Amino acid sequence: MKAVWKGTVVAESNDTVVVEGNHYFPADAISRDHLLPSNTKTMCSWKGQASYFTLFVNGDANPDAVWTYPDPKEAAANIKGRIAFWKGVQVIE
């Protein structure tokens, strides 16, 4: 699977976990050069608290387009250490 934004592959892995239609990539599948931490947090009743990152590609920013559950609840333990994308980031095979 590949995560693509603005024509650039920002993450690639054969090891994704699909939860609620979102592919969660291993955290090391994306270059940290593309990420800037965000202060945004959200809460999911069964996954726990999500933390977000701004995605950077060729000088363009996509705020809060990447998220992770750093300490997920037990029901979502399979996505610990993984990241997912939205806000115009295409995930394709």
- Each residue's pLDDT expressed in tens, for the chain with a length of 93 residues: 999 999 999 999 999 999 999 999 999 999 888 999 999 999 999 999 999 999 999 999 999 999 999 999 999 999 999 999 999 999 999
Residue-wise pLDDT for 36-62, tens only, equals 999 999 999 999 999 999 999 999 999
For domain 2-92, the CATH architecture is: Beta Complex (2.170)
**Partner residues linked to 83 by β-bridges:** 25, 68
Name the residue among 15, 85, 26, 19 with its Cα closest to residue 57: 85
Q: Among candidates 28, 22, 86, 16, which has minimal Cα distance to 52?
A: 86
The domain locations on the chain are 2-92
**pLDDT at residue 31 in the model:** 85
List the structure tokens of 93: 């095979």
